[in-house]
C-alpha cells in the first residue's frame, strides 16, 4: 500500500458517517441542545420520563402508519383505474380512506408529541400595545429557541426519523396527482363513435329500431349507438333524440338529406353546458333543456329560439340498412355539446371535408 493510499484511509476513518435523518457534523440544529434539568417553576409541568418514552413509541407508530397510508394512497391511485361507476367508486374509497388515515395519524402523532413529551406551561396573556417593544421581540425569539430545544427534534432520533419518513409519501402525493392534468384531449372532442352502418338502439333496452315501426308523427325516442350501451364516455357525446315528423313539417334549417321518412336525429347534448336536452313539446315541436331552459326548434334544424345556448343541436345523418333498421350514415359534421377552445378549427375542417365531398 502506498503512502497516499494509507493517508487516504486515515482521512476516511476520521470522517464520521452521516445517517439519514441526522444533521451534518458540526451543524447547529434547533432542538439539538442536551436535556436541561427541570427548573423549579410551579407554572411549568415536566412529563414523567417513563410516560414520555411510552408516548415517543406511540408517536413513532403513528408516523409509521402515516407513511404506510401515504404509500397506500399512491398505490391506490396507480392500481384502481376509473372508467366505470363501480371502478370509480372503488378508486374514491381507496384514495379517500388512505389519505384520511395518513392525515389523521400524522395529526395525532404531532398532538401527542406536544402533549405527552414537551413540558406544559400555565400562561397568562395580558393586553399590550399592538407594537411590540424590543424586549418583547427578544423574549419571543428566546421563547421560540427554547421551545425548539424542548421539542428535542434532534435529540429524539426515533421521532425525527419516523416523522421524516411519514412526510415523504405525502410530499410525493401532489406530484403523483399531476398525472390527472393530462393527457390532452387532442381531437377526441371533435368526434363521436357514430359511423356509417352503426345501428341506432333504444336507450335502456338496446333494441334496434325499425323505421317502419317508428311511424307515428310526434313520436320521440332517446337513442344510443349499438354496442356502446354501457360505455359512459361514448354516451356522453353520442346520445341522440329521435323524432318523427310529417314531411311537410320540416323547415329549411333541417337537412332533409340526413333524414329518413320524416325521422330526424339530433344530438341530445345541449350546446350550452352539456345537459341532456330531452324534453319535447309535441304541439310546438320544441326541444327543451331542463337545466337552463335553452329551447330548440326541432322542425328547423334544432336552431336556438330561447335561452343561453349559442348553437343548434347537431343533426346526425341517418338512413336504413338492408333489414330496415335505422343506421348512421356518418358521424356528426360538427362537434357536439358545449363549445371549447379549438371548436372553430374543428368546424373549419368539417367544412373542408364537405366541400371536398361535394
The pLDDT of 141-162, averaged and rounded, is 86
pLDDT tens per residue, range 59-96: 999 999 999 999 999 999 999 987 777 888 889 999 99
The pLDDT of 148-167, averaged and rounded, is 86
Q: Is the pLDDT of residue 335 over 80?
A: yes
Q: pLDDT over 70 for what percent of the chain? A: 82
Q: Which CATH code for domain 191-357? A: 2.102.10.10
Is the pTM higher than 0.75? The answer reads no
User: 118: buried, middle or exposed (CB in 10 Å: 19+, 13-18, 0-12)?
Assistant: middle
Sheet with strand 295-297: strands edge to edge: 279-281, 286-288, 295-297, 303-306
Write down the domain spans for the chain.
39-128, 191-357
- pLDDT score at 278: 85
**Other CB atoms within 10 A of residue 292 CB:** 12
Q: Is the pLDDT of residue 174 over 60?
A: yes
pLDDT tens per residue, range 96-129: 999 999 999 999 999 999 999 988 887 777 776 7
Taking the C-alpha atoms of residue 267 and residue 265, their distance in angstroms, rounded to an integer, is 7
- pLDDT score at 1: 52
Q: Are 281 and 288 in contact (CB under 8 A)?
A: yes
- pLDDT score at 317: 95
Mean per-residue pLDDT of the chain: 84
pLDDT tens per residue, range 270-293: 999 999 998 999 889 999 999 999
Q: Is the pLDDT of residue 264 over 90?
A: yes
C-alpha distances out from residue 28 to 20, 25, 163, 219, 335, Å = 16, 9, 20, 82, 64
Least confident of 25-34, 79-88, 186-195, 230-239: 25-34
* Residue whose C-alpha is closest to residue 329's, from 142, 135, 182, 196: 196
- pLDDT score at 243: 95
The residue behind cell 368539417 is: 350
Measured N-to-C along each axis, helices 49-79 and 157-177 cross at an angle, to the nearest 10 degrees, of 20
pLDDT tens per residue, range 9-62: 555 555 556 555 555 555 555 555 555 555 566 667 888 889 999 999 999 999
Least confident of 45-54, 70-79, 235-244, 307-316: 45-54
Amino acid at each position: 500500500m502506498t503512502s497516499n493510499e494509507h493517508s487516504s484511509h486515515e482521512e476516511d476513518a476520521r470522517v464520521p458517517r452521516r445517517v439519514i435523518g441526522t444533521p451534518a457534523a458540526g451543524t447547529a440544529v434547533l432542538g439539538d441542545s442536551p436535556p436541561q434539568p427541570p427548573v423549579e417553576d410551579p407554572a411549568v409541568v415536566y412529563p414523567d420520563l417513563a410516560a414520555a418514552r411510552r408516548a415517543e413509541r406511540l408517536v413513532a407508530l403513528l408516523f409509521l402508519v402515516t407513511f404506510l397510508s401515504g404509500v397506500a394512497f399512491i398505490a391506490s391511485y396507480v392500481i384502481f383505474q376509473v372508467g366505470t361507476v363501480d371502478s370509480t367508486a372503488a378508486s374514491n374509497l381507496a384514495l379517500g380512506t388512505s389519505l384520511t388515515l395518513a392525515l389523521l395519524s400524522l395529526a395525532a402523532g404531532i398532538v401527542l408529541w406536544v402533549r405527552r413529551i414537551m413540558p406544559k406551561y400555565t400562561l397568562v396573556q395580558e393586553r399590550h400595545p399592538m407594537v411590540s417593544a424590543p424586549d418583547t421581540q427578544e423574549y419571543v425569539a428566546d421563547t421560540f429557541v427554547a421551545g425548539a430545544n424542548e421539542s428535542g427534534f434532534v435529540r429524539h432520533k426515533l421521532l425525527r426519523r419516523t416523522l421524516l419518513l411519514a412526510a415523504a409519501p405525502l410530499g410525493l402525493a401532489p406530484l403523483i396527482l399531476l398525472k390527472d392534468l393530462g393527457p390532452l384531449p387532442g381531437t377526441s372532442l371533435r368526434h363521436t363513435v357514430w359511423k356509417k352502418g352503426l345501428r341506432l338502439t333504444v336507450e335502456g333496452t338496446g333494441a334496434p329500431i325499425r323505421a317502419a315501426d317508428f311511424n307515428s308523427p310526434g313520436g320521440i325516442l332517446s337513442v344510443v349507438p349499438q354496442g356502446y350501451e354501457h360505455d359512459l364516455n361514448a354516451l356522453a357525446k353520442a346520445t341522440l333524440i329521435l323524432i318523427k315528423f310529417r314531411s311537410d313539417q320540416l323547415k329549411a334549417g333541417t337537412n332533409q338529406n340526413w333524414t329518413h321518412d320524416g325521422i330526424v336525429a339530433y344530438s341530445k347534448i345541449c350546446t350550452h353546458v352539456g345537459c341532456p336536452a330531452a324534453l319535447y313539446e309535441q304541439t310546438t315541436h320544441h326541444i327543451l333543456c331542463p337545466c337552463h331552459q335553452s329551447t330548440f326548434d326541432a322542425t328547423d334544424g334544432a336552431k336556438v329560439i330561447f335561452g343561453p345556448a349559442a348553437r343548434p343541436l347537431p343533426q346526425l345523418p341517418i338512413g336504413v340498412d338492408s333489414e330496415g333498421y335505422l343506421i348512421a350514415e356518418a358521424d356528426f359534421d360538427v362537434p357536439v355539446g358545449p363549445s371549447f377552445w379549438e371548436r372553430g378549427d374543428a368546424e373549419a375542417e368539417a367544412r373542408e371535408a364537405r366541400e371536398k365531398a361535394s
